[in-house]
Amino acid sequence: MSPWLRMMLFLVPVTALLALAHVYLYRRLVRDVTASRGLRRAGMGLFAGGLVGSLGARMVGGMFSSEVARGTGIALLVWMGLVLYLLMFTLGMDVVRGVLARVRKAPEPSEPPSPERRAFLARGVAAGATVAGAAVSSFGTWRAFHPPDVRDIPVRLPGLPKALEGFTLVQLTDIHIGGVLQRRFVDELVARANALKPDLIAVTGDLVDGTVPELGRYVAGFGALKARHGAYFVTGNHDYYSGVEAWTEFVRGMGLTVLRNRAVTIGDAGASFDLLGVDDWSASRFGEAGYDLDAAMKGLRPDRASVLLAHQPSNFEVVAQRGVGLQISGHTHGGQMFPGNVLGQLIWGEQNAGLSKLGDSHLYVSRGCGFVGPPMRVAAPPEIARIILLPG
């Protein structure tokens, strides 16, 4: 299947659902609430403009460098999230109304409700859904731009030398520098990571959403990352969308070590472990050689402690079978926004977010530092993971 056809198969149903959501919300929150022709026209213009704008929000925010264009793009992305929560609350209240109506239905036919009562109920639903949707969206937006939480995750790593007990590895992932998150966000994230005084920093993919010429001046801030054993980078799927070869060269130029299906030794002759990195699991779709665990593990001794950096948690079962003690991943965002976190649990299970174990091997999946789509985080807060290695 061609990439163009695959994209159309995704965009057509998504666009249709988004259009239906806007029509439904206009009818329930505007048309059913007021008879004023002027207010209805204004509401129709708002929802029609929101629909058209939200479809092109990433283009508006990314094509132009002016603060006006960037602000417009952010506002349209926020609108997308607001529509989601307005839709959830409005549908929820309609369902509750329908259930209550059936429960309270009189056994004998009764007079139909008056127009005044119907209008009162419609206004109540509209007001309640609007307040609830706006409140959740506002909190989600605040949380997305708020500095990520620092999470301490102790992991017992088989084969880790006693001398390396307490080794700290700080993970930054799914940062998504682009039209919304730019240099200020980078500098704050770097400062928070450096303040943890880590032994090693791992950037596990989805660093950017855009090209080097567009975003290089923002991403350059990651050159200030400091750790005793250095900073390392593996690719994510969005890095491939953005031009992976150019970005890996740029990242190397900042002083980060890029691990593309290879391993390095961390430590010294007295105490060390193997750090492996693989390309993104989906890289082969871009005509690249892609994920190659065999190449990354070539020549490694099975009795040594090992940590794998892989953007997606995919293939962890095989990784565990091969004896890798810890895989560190991202990609899922933990669902990012309710109900995405619930759907993520259904799709990924315990690999959606947090620490899990298979045999003697551990997997840690971070919810990530940034976001994609609507700049919101609801029930899946952003994080910086500080993984503390202990002898297994």
User: Based on the number of CB atoms within 10 Å of its own CB, is 178 exposed (0-12), middle (13-18) or buried (19 or more)?
Assistant: buried
Whether this prediction's pTM lies above 0.85 is answered by yes
Whole-number pLDDT of residue 232 = 98
Query: Strand order in 306-309's β-sheet?
Result: 262-267, 272-277, 306-309, 326-329, 361-365, 354-358
- Going by their DSSP bridges, the two strands 200-204 and 383-391 should be labelled as unpaired
Low-confidence ranges of the chain (pLDDT < 50): 60-63
* Location of structure tokens 């920093």: 201
The first and second tokens of residue 35, run together, are 């008879």
Radius of gyration of the chain (CA): 25
Nearest to 94 by CA among 122, 54, 57: 122
Measured from the Cβ of residue 310, the count of other Cβ atoms closer than 10 Å reads 31
The answer to whether 158 and 360 are in contact (CB under 8 A) is: yes
Please give the DSSP secondary-structure letter assigned to residue 208.
B
Whole-number pLDDT of residue 106 = 54
- Going by their DSSP bridges, the two strands 200-204 and 167-172 should be labelled as parallel
Q: Which CATH superfamily is domain 150-391 in?
A: Metallo-dependent phosphatases (3.60.21.10)
- Going by their DSSP bridges, the two strands 383-391 and 167-172 should be labelled as antiparallel
CA 88 – CA 98 distance, rounded (Å)? 15
Whole-number pLDDT of residue 63 = 47
DSSP 3-state of 308 = strand
The first and second tokens of residue 368, run together, are 């990530």
User: Based on the number of CB atoms within 10 Å of its own CB, is 50 exposed (0-12), middle (13-18) or buried (19 or more)?
Assistant: buried
The answer to whether 308 and 276 are in contact (CB under 8 A) is: yes
Whole-number pLDDT of residue 51 = 93
Whole-number pLDDT of residue 61 = 45
Measured from the Cβ of residue 215, the count of other Cβ atoms closer than 10 Å reads 24
CATH 3.60.21.10 in the chain: give the residue spans.
Answer: 150-391
